[in-house]
Amino acid sequence: MEPPEIERLDERTIQRIAAGEVVERPASVVKELVENSLDAGASRVAVSVEAGGTEGIRVRDDGVGIEGDQLEAAVAEHATSKIGDIDDLDAGVATLGFRGEALYTVGGVSRLTVRSKPPDADAGAEISVEGGSVGEVRPAGCPTGTVVEVDDLFYNTPARKKFLKRVTTEFDHVNTVVTSYALANPDVAISLEHDGRETFATEGNGDLRSAVLAVYGREVAEGMLDVDWRPDEGSADSSSLNARTENGSPSVIRVTGLVSHPETTRASRDYLGTYVNGRYVTASSLREAVLDAYDGQLAPDRYPFTVLFVEVPPDDVDVNVHPRKLEVRFDEEAAVRSAVEDAVGSALLDHGLIRSGAPRG
Ligand code: ADP
Ligand code: MG
């Protein structure tokens, strides 16, 4: 038998393989598009999906927009307005996405249209990509901001399309993503619509409790307790982590947000929202710390609602451990864990909710 020839894959195939890694399901597309809208400084982000996002996804924002002559770059590979070079990467980027590949990869596995008008442009323009082939830039009427439409996701990758779950499951994932951004950004009016029906719409008035009300309803919003924690000066909590960062921006761990009364629970961990430096994460260490704080007060298999913002010095956290950036790694994991447990414990204690015999400092 002859040894086979080794050949480089063609670009289209490389693109589809790469797309499979970034774009797993409609919710991953929604995540990328919402991040782009937030990066664009939007004050309103409206998401609407059809059939759980499998048939159509539309994200509209009122952000800075994209100039007509930049539309081709926006959908091109490794093209981004967010970092210049590797030094910017090391300096830590403030924006959410920076790999310059979301629109490119989505365009490879769907019918994508990006339509945009910057505030001071006379008219808008749009570009469409179908299965990786990029069309011409055309003039288009549209309000200030950007609309991205993604139709027929995975129409040209049947193997991946087969992995999609039922519409309700896909929509649940979309809902989880949009909810997490709505709660992390109470100053932005974020809405979600499924098959023409509104799921929720936050006001964008900057008030976290009002965002919780919009997303989870009155019963939950009224059952939420305030968390506002910083380490005591000179106590054991002002750990090495706080001491090490005198020269930088945030120098201490802070934990703020809302956690539910132990009687306001659900039979699912899905409502344990934790955010690190503004990003939604599902770090198991944080979840455990939260549950430890409730210490015996939850009914079996019941979990609280939390919207907990943990701020740590950026140098102490690696948010890119996981490609979808849900897991994080801390340099000082024990310090962060104990801060979170203490923060939630103190909030419960303030409401007289810690069981007797379990004193906390
Ligand atoms: P990245 O976000 O990593 O830069 P994307 O492929 O998601 O890569 O987007 C490419 C570029 O398109 C962005 O850097 C940005 O300049 C532009 N862009 C994408 N979405 C928007 C939007 N909603 N508003 C303004 N500009 C956008
Ligand atoms: Mg992006």
- Residue 260: how many other CB atoms lie within 10 Å: 26
What radius of gyration, in Å, describes the C-alpha atoms of the chain? 22
Q: Is 40 in the pocket of ligand 1 (CB under 6 A)?
A: yes
Q: Which atom of ligand 1 is nearest to the CA of 106?
A: 6
CA of 97 to the centre of ligand 1 (A): 8
Indicate whether residue 201 lines ligand 1 (CB < 6 A).
no
Please state, as a whole number, how many other Cβ atoms lie within 10 Å of the Cβ of residue 277. Answer: 17
Q: What ligand is nearest to the CA atom of residue 74?
A: 1
Nearest residue to 53 (alpha-carbon basis) of 22, 20, 25: 25
Establish whether residue 322 lines the binding site of ligand 1, counting it when its CB lies within 6 angstroms of any ligand atom: no
Q: Is 295 within 8 Å of 260 (Cβ atoms)? A: no
Mean pLDDT across 62-71: 97
Residues paired with 225 in a beta bridge: 259
**Spatial separation of the C-alpha atoms in residues 128 and 115, rounded to whole Å:** 9
Atom 23 (ligand 1) nearest CA: 37
DSSP-derived pairing of the beta strands 145-151 and 329-330? unpaired
> Can you tell me the distance from the alpha carbon of 214 to that of 199, in angstroms, rounded to the nearest whole number?
9
> What gap in Å lies between CA 271 and CA 176, rounded to an integer?
9
Q: Which residue has the higher pLDDT, 318 or 32?
A: 32
Q: Is the CB of 37 under 6 A from ligand 1?
A: yes
With a 6 Å cutoff on the Cβ, whether 317 touches ligand 1 is no
Q: Supply the residue whose CA is at minimum distance from atom 10 of ligand 1.
A: 74
- From residue 286, give the alpha-carbon distance in Å to each of 136, 177, 271, 310, 333: 47, 19, 13, 9, 9
Q: Is the CB of 105 under 6 A from ligand 1?
A: no
* Ligand 1: nearest atom to the Cα of 32: 7
**pLDDT single digits (tens) 100-149:** 788 998 999 999 999 999 999 999 999 999 999 999 999 999 899 999 99
CA 37 to centroid of ligand 2, rounded, Å: 9
The response to whether residue 170 sits with its C-beta less than 6 Å from ligand 1 reads no
Backbone angles phi, psi at 18, to 5 degrees: -60, -40
The number of residues making up the chain comes to 361
Question: Which pair of structure tokens corresponds to residue 293?
Answer: 């704080």
* Cβ(61) – ligand 1 distance below 6 Å: yes
Tens-place pLDDT, residues 174-183: 999 999 999 9
Q: Is the pLDDT of residue 273 over 60?
A: yes
From the CA of 78, which ligand is nearest? 1
Say which residue the tokens 């952000």 belong to: 63
CA 95 to ligand 1: nearest atom: 2
Burial (CB < 10 A; 0-12, 13-18, 19+), residue 43, is: middle
Q: Quick one: pLDDT at residue 22?
A: 66
- Ligand 1 pocket, residue 80 CB under 6 Å: yes
In whole angstroms, give the CA distance from residue 42 to residue 202.
14
- DSSP letter string over 143-211? -SEEEEEEESTTTT-HHHHHT---HHHHHHHHHHHHHHHHHH-TTSEEEEEETTEEEEE---SS-HHHH
Query: Among residues 100, 105, 80, 128, which one has the least CA distance to residue 22?
Result: 105
**CA–CA separation, 180 and 38 (whole Å):** 13
Tokens representing 213? Answer: 């009300």
Residue 242, ligand 1, Cβ within 6 A: no
Q: What is the pTM of this model?
A: 0.86
Ligand 1 close to Cβ of residue 32 (< 6 A): yes
Q: How far is residue 209's CA from residue 37's CA, in Å, rounded to a whole number?
A: 23
Identify the residue with better confidence: 94 or 232.
232
* CA dist., res. 330 & res. 328, Å (int): 7
Residue burial 335-353, b: 16+ Cβ < 10 Å; e: rest:
bbbbbbbbbbbbbbbeeee
Ligand 1: centre distance to CA 30 (Å): 13
CB of 44 sitting under 6 A from ligand 1: no
Q: Which residue owns the Cα nearest ligand 1 atom 14?
A: 80
Least confident of 35-39, 101-105, 349-353: 349-353
Instruction: Decide if pLDDT at 10 tops 60.
Output: yes
Query: Worst-scoring range by mean pLDDT, 49-58, 201-210, 221-230, 312-321?
Result: 312-321
β-pair type (306-311, 272-276): parallel
Range of lowest pLDDT (15-19, 55-59, 170-174, 226-230): 15-19
Each as own residue / partner, the long-range contacts of residues 217-221 (CB below 8 Å, 24 or more positions apart, any chain) are 219/264, 220/260, 220/264, 220/305
- Neighbouring C-beta atoms of residue 186, cutoff 10 Å: 21
Q: What is the pLDDT of residues 208-241, one digit of tens each?
A: 999 999 999 999 999 899 999 998 754 444 444 4
User: What's the CA-to-centroid distance between 158 and ligand 1, angstroms?
Assistant: 27
Please tell me the predicted confidence (pLDDT) of residue 94: 44
Residue 275 has φ and ψ, to the nearest 5°, of -130, 135
Distance 80 CA to ligand 1 centre (A): 6
How far apart CA 288 and CA 44 sit, in angstroms, is 34
